Structure 1
Amino acid sequence: MIDTNTNPLHKALFRILRPLARLLLRNGVPYGEFSELVKRAFVEAALEDFSDGRRKPTDSRAAVMTGLTRKEVKRQRDILAGENPVPETTSHANRASRVVSGWVHDSTFQSGDGQPAVLAFEGEQSFAGLVRKYSGDMPPRAVLDELLRVGVVVVEEGTGHLHLRKRAYVPSGDSDDMLQIFGEDVSDLIATVDYNLVSSERDRLPLFQRTLTYNNIPPDVIERWRKHAAGRSQALLEDLDSWLGPYDQDLSGSVIDDNAAEPVRTGISVFYFEEPVQAGKSGEHQ
């Protein structure tokens, strides 16, 4: 039996898994299905992240590292290789986000002062043209309906012109798009924490990682704090987006040199949290 009260890593994992279990149960994912995904993640990590610089680990070494049998390692490796593909849900979150980003940064869709222009649905410098440029084969009407649904875009009465109300696309609820963002955000956070845990051993500077936390705030302050935190966080992200966005090669239209180094995925994630303080809460023994 694993004692989550003594091992610091076990305690940290329990805190991660507790809200994850709640999300899985709410979305009808039982333990067996989750366990299968965990096996796959362990096998992929063993095979991809622990090579000796010359060749990838063998199935035998991956079995030793993960505690799985060689047969199970091979089965999971075959799934990962596509020999026994697992159906995946295609999400349009990235496409909708790219449309908004193009509207903010592409000068073709900006007004004279460099702000996102008011767009007609069709025609020159139109929303349809924006979608065609940044969302591939997605129908412009479907993209507009989604952006209207989440309040990113508003329609001007009389003219039908489209105004960008928010500079970021954030889906709502447990939709496929929101679950995709959940996977990206949590994996990015864990990757940053993992990097920082070993950075000193490898003579690397840690990545920026900060959290502001208080645990004795009166309930009547929370609503004001929520609004203040959201406003300041949005302003910060928009400022950072204004600096970094123009360097994105898809948005800038710059020609990519075949001999150039591989591009880098980078960014900043900001999230808000709150929960009641509960003495003796499970997994947080004093």
Structure 2
Amino acid sequence: MPSKTTSPATGAPIDAPGAAPALALEHAMVVMQPLVRWLLRSGVGFGATTDALKAVFLQEAARELERRGQKASGSGLSVMSGLHRKDVRLLLEQGAPQAMASRSAQADARVKPSAASRLVTQWLAQRWPRRLPISNPQPGAAEPTPRSFERLARQVSTDVHPRALLTELERLGLVVVDDTTVQLQKSAFVPDSQQTAAAQCMSSHVADHLSAAVHNLQSENTEHKFLERSVFADGLSAESVTVLHDEALRLWEQVFSVMVALATPLCEQDAQATPPQRFRIGMYCYSTRANTPNPPVSNDTGTLQEVTP
């Protein structure tokens, strides 16, 4: 049986394939660069960040001990997390793990799209006209199942009144309403950058992307791995980047329509599934000058490659 290796910095056991402390920390710092950029621009400094991270390290250490079938004692949490036993004791007294678990539960709840988000998704996926009558036509209309905002809203939720959904969409700037019709203004549900919902959306997306990447990095070859692929190109002009970005948007609209059409009946079919599972598929584009932070995989110019973790 191979002997266990421990981190010289924290004393924490290392059993993840390829996850040597120096290597893991080096690449984690690359991931941290845009996150720190956002924190600094939001007025969050180093001290506040490190204080908050203590609770995160404690929570994840407790989860890791549970995964290994070990008791989450104060000593075990201290060794696993690298936190001083005094900090562990203080955080436990303050209920930090429970608070973090509550935040995680709230984050999982936020993962479920709002009724407004689901309505926009269905509106686009069903390829209904961008302008709809607000209410159902009177009996005797030419169309046997007339399309209206009211009908769409009741497909999405029977708990929220269509008028309340319409008011929320109007508040978010997603629709324009006149006396009898409603016009969809955007091709996706994208919260305003100044709203709390935008930060919640970003954190959910990035956390799931990172969770998939970490799972793939630490899984054995025989284990299930999540889809995580990208195409990287450099040596491009700004005009070429625009061409690629526009094409990516077009492709995403296709992926969006196909996946919503597939997922909608499956969600209805599996409504009573135990335990329930959640699934996210996403797509992103990013471009910047080649000499800015977060360098690409290759330092060569004029290259094109598929990046497969």
Question: Does the pair score TM above 0.5?
Answer: yes
Q: Give the secondary structure class of the aligned counterpart of 1:213.
A: strand
Check if 1:262 corresponds to 2:279. no
Partner of 1:207: 226
Aligned mate of 1:46, from 51, 55, 61: 61
- Which position in structure 1 is the counterpart of 2:50? 35
- Distance of aligned partners of 1:94 and 1:75 in 2 relative to their CA distance in 1, 3 Å threshold: farther
What is the aligned counterpart of 2:245 among 218, 226, 229? 226
Counterpart among 170, 173, 179 of residue 145 in structure 1? 170
Find out whether 1:17 has 2:42 as its counterpart: no
Greater relative contact order (CA < 8 Å, ≥ 6 in sequence): 2
The Cα of 1:98 is off from its aligned counterpart by 2.8
How many pairs align?
A: 259
Decide whether aligned partners of structure 1 residues 130 and 206 sit closer, same or farther in structure 2, where only a CA change above 3 A counts: closer
Change (3 A) 1:66 1:53: closer
1:100 to 120, 124, 127: 120
Q: Which residue of 2 aligns with 1:65?
A: 80
Q: State the superposition RMSD in angstroms.
A: 3.8
Q: Deviations over 1:143-164 (max 9, x none)?
A: 12234x1x4x344x6x532244
Distance 1:93 1:274, change over 3 A: farther
Q: Percent identity?
A: 20
1:111-126 aligned at under 5 Å gives the runs 115-116=127-128, 118-120=132-134, 126=150
C-alpha distance 133-28 of structure 1, shift in aligned 2 (>3 A): farther
Mapped pair 1:271 → 2:296:
no
**How far apart are residue 73 of structure 1 and its match?**
2.2
Instruction: Go from structure 1 to structure 2 and tell me whether the alpha carbon gap of 1:242 and 1:131 turns closer, same or farther (over 3 Å shift).
Output: closer
Structure 1 residues 15 and 146 mapped into 2: Cα distance closer, same or farther (>3 Å)? farther
Q: Distance in 2 between matches of 1:144 and 1:277?
A: 39
Structure 1 unaligned regions, length at least 5: 106-113
**Cα distance between partner residues in 1 of 2:71 and 2:163:** 39
The aligned counterpart of 1:111 is none
**Residues 121 and 128 in structure 1, CA contact (< 8 A), matched pair in contact too:** no
Unaligned runs of 5+ in 2: 1-8, 10-20, 138-147, 300-309
1:152-191 to structure 2, matched below 5 A, reads: 153-155=175-177, 159-164=179-184, 166=186, 168-191=188-211
Match for residue 266 of structure 2 among 247, 262, 279: 247
Distance 2:133 2:155 in 1: 9
Between 10-19 and 46-55, the greater mean CA deviation after superposition: 46-55
Q: Cα–Cα, structure 1 residues 92 and 116, in superposed 2: closer, same or farther, change >3 Å?
A: farther
Corresponding position of 1:109: none
Of structures 1 and 2, the larger Rg is shown by 2
1:54 to 1:179, Cα distance in 2 relative to 1, 3 A: same
Aligned partners of 1:99 and 1:135 also within 8 Å: no
Cα deviation code 1:91-125 (max 9, x no counterpart):
799323233345567xxxxxxxx544735169996
CA distance in structure 2 between the partners assigned to 1:63 and 1:261 by the alignment: 35
TM-score by length of 1: 0.74
Compute the TM-score of the two structures, normalised by the length of structure 2: 0.69
Offset, 1:63 = 0.8
SS of equivalent to 1:61: helix
Q: Deviations over 1:127-172 (max 9, x none)?
A: 765676365899435412234x1x4x344x6x53224455631113
Q: 1:210 to 1:282 in 2, by over 3 A?
A: closer
Over 3 Å counting, the alpha-carbon distance change for 1:229 and 1:248 in structure 2 is same
